[in-house]
Amino acid sequence: MGKSQKLYEKAKKIIPGGTQLLSKRPEMFLPGLWPSYYSKAKGCEVWDLDGNHYYDMGIMGIGTSVLGYANPTINKAVKKGIDNGNMCTLNAPEEVELAEKLIEIHPWAGMARFAKSGGESNTIAIRIARAFSGKDKIAFCGYHGWHDWYLSSNLNDASNLDNQLLPGLSTKGVAKNLKNTSLPFEYGNIEQFKKIVENTKDELGIVIMEVQRYKPADLDFLREIRKITSKIGAVLIFDEISSAFRFNTGGQHLLYDIVPDIAVFGKALGNGFPIGAVIGKKEIMQAAQETFISSSYWTERSGYVAAVETIKFFEKNNVAEYTMKMGNYIGKELNEIFKKYDLDIEMLMGMPSAISMLIKEKDSAILKTVFIQEMLKRGYLASTTIYVSYAHKKKVVDKYLNDAKEVFKYISNNRNNLKDLLDDEVSHSGFQRLN
């Protein structure tokens, strides 16, 4: 047990849940053995508290660091902003610059509000949409964060959210009178959505959904959603916290000429610095002035500076084109490895720069854990999801693919006794209490 593992044992005693983000819990990867904490991160390289070196071929800061960790261009701009004062009684001018830039990229939008995280950005969007529509009920598709409006869906049925992304999300602490206010529908299932519209009659005021996640965008589905929401007067919100800046510079919806009423961005927008954006049609965004939406640290400077500089970097270096090309390469090569060793695993490549392994083998959780375990031994922070970054150069990627090939061969040769290969517990797959 190294310094990182010892520190995590301490953390679990004084921080409920061990970490601030479920997706960064060591139990989600390799309970007891995952390095947990970093001392330094640069490009796609990470050093833990014991000085061990890894290549991050997994979640790359949960998809936030699309230019690579500690990108020198972004860091230089942020350091200058910090030296000139990160907080002040007055406002940072970069706030206006970022709003102008996002509206320039998305001509359908007229105004922007900002926050520091994805979940709260979605909640701001929901509040604005409710204020504008005057209606309470929400239909949603996809994962949209931890706030009450979203988790309340499980008050109707404890499994409502299981197929959206994370299973087992608890409603403890969520007000019971929110029951029947948030209603889920599955991506691509337009009949299910129409049934919600029919059942809610004139009470449905907001529809929030991801443009896509694991599979290619269903354009007919998206267009029909847009048509119906316009007809019934519901505000359509595209949650692009994960997808924006992964297909192009800006929201993915721009590629399809399907215009929402509000779009929400985060993650890649600030390359690891905290920033969330809510942009929308002017008449809808103006409703923010009729409801109270305000927070001190939404005004701090570093997120705005980072976002402005990140957008410039995207435009100058064709980042989205590079990461999609590299993601397609990784996915194609991994699929060849699975085929070679007769493993029932499929790469989900709907978002080419954020690809995932769908393990269909029996004992899939054990297989996943063995893969993470053996890749860690070879110097990788690996996962079944790979967020590709601009820092993932071909030399590193090819090294990863060669080592992954070796590990999957090892797994294939021992497929009947995978449990015997485990050095620790099986990784968790969703939300659960730790102690």
Model confidence at 167, pLDDT cuts 50, 70, 90, reads: confident
- 262: tokens are 């509000």
Is residue 378 within 8 Å of residue 245, measured between CB atoms? no
Q: Is 272 left (phi over 0), alpha (psi -120 to 50) or beta?
A: left
What mean pLDDT do residues 170-199 have?
94
Cα distance between residue 175 and residue 178, in whole Å = 6
Listed residues 317, 332, 348: the one ending a domain: 317
pLDDT tens digit string along 53-82?
999 999 999 999 999 999 999 999 999 999
The pLDDT value recorded for residue 163 is 78
Quick one: pLDDT at residue 245? 96
Is the residue at 252 inside a domain?
yes
**Tally of CB atoms within 10 A around 81:** 22
86/209 same-domain check = yes
Smallest Cα–Cα separation from 386: which of 364, 404, 412, 406?
Answer: 404
User: Tell me, what's the pLDDT at 68?
Assistant: 98
> Is 100 within a domain?
yes
Q: How many domains does the chain have?
A: 2
Question: pLDDT tens across 204-262, in order?
Answer: 999 999 999 788 899 999 999 999 999 999 999 999 999 999 999 999 999 999 999 99
Confidence of residue 432 (pLDDT cuts 50, 70, 90): low
Say whether 386 sits in a helix, a strand or coil. strand
CA atoms within 13 A on the CB side of 356: 14
Listed range (12-26, 159-173, 374-388, 389-403) with the worst mean pLDDT? 159-173
Cβ burial of 325 (10 Å; 0-12, 13-18, 19+) is middle
- Taking alpha carbons only, the member of 59, 229, 205 closest to residue 133 is 205
Residue 98: per-residue pLDDT: 98
AA letter at 285: M
Quick one: 100 and 51 in the same domain?
A: no
What lies within 8 Å, CB to CB, of 122 at 6+ separation is 144, 145, 147, 150, 208, 237, 239, 241, 264
Mean pLDDT of the region 287-302 = 97
pLDDT of residue 433: 58
Q: What is residue 1's predicted lDDT score, i.e. its pLDDT?
A: 82
Query: Quick one: pLDDT at residue 215?
Result: 83
Q: Please give the pLDDT value at position 166.
A: 76
Provide the pLDDT for residue 158. 82
Task: Answer yes or no: do 307 and 355 share one domain.
Answer: no
Per the prediction, the chain carries an average pLDDT of 95
Exposed, middle or buried, 180 (CB in 10 Å: 0-12/13-18/19+)? middle
Q: Are residues 323 and 312 in the same domain?
A: no
- CATH number of the domain encompassing residue 215: 3.40.640.10
Residue 349 and residue 253 share a domain: no
Domain boundary among 293, 317, 341: 317
373 within domain boundaries: yes
Mean pLDDT check: name the lowest of 152-166, 344-358, 395-409.
152-166
End residue of a domain, out of 289, 317, 345 = 317
User: In terms of domains, do 354 and 210 share one?
Assistant: no
pLDDT-derived band at 431 (thresholds 50, 70, 90) equals: low
Confidence (pLDDT) at 162? 79
Residue 90's pLDDT band, with cuts at 50, 70 and 90, is very high
| 228 shares a domain with 79 | yes
Beta strands in 181-266 (DSSP E): 182-184, 204-210, 235-239, 262-265
Q: Is residue 430 part of a domain?
A: no
So what's the pLDDT on residue 131? 97
Residue 46 and residue 53 in contact, taking contact as beta carbons nearer than 8 Å:
yes
* Cα gap 190→139, rounded to integer Å: 12
3-state secondary structure of 358: strand
In a domain, 407, yes or no: yes
User: Which tokens in the block code for residue 242?
Assistant: 């994960």
Domain that holds residue 326: 3-70+318-421
Mean pLDDT, residues 110-132: 97
Domain with residue 355: its CATH number is 3.90.1150.10
Residue 432 lies in a domain: no
Number of other residues whose CB lies within 10 A of the CB of residue 406 = 14
Are 336 and 235 found together in one domain?
no
- Indicate if the pLDDT at residue 197 is higher than 70: yes
Residue 292 has what pLDDT? Answer: 96
Residues 308, 332: one domain?
A: no
Residue 174 in any domain: the answer is yes
Q: Are residues 337 and 265 in the same domain?
A: no
Q: Are residue 152 and residue 20 in the same domain, yes or no?
A: no
Q: What is the CA radius of gyration of the chain?
A: 22
Give the chain's length. Answer: 435
Count of C-beta atoms within a 10 Å radius of residue 339 = 10
293 with 324, same domain: the answer is: no
User: Does 428 fall in a domain?
Assistant: no
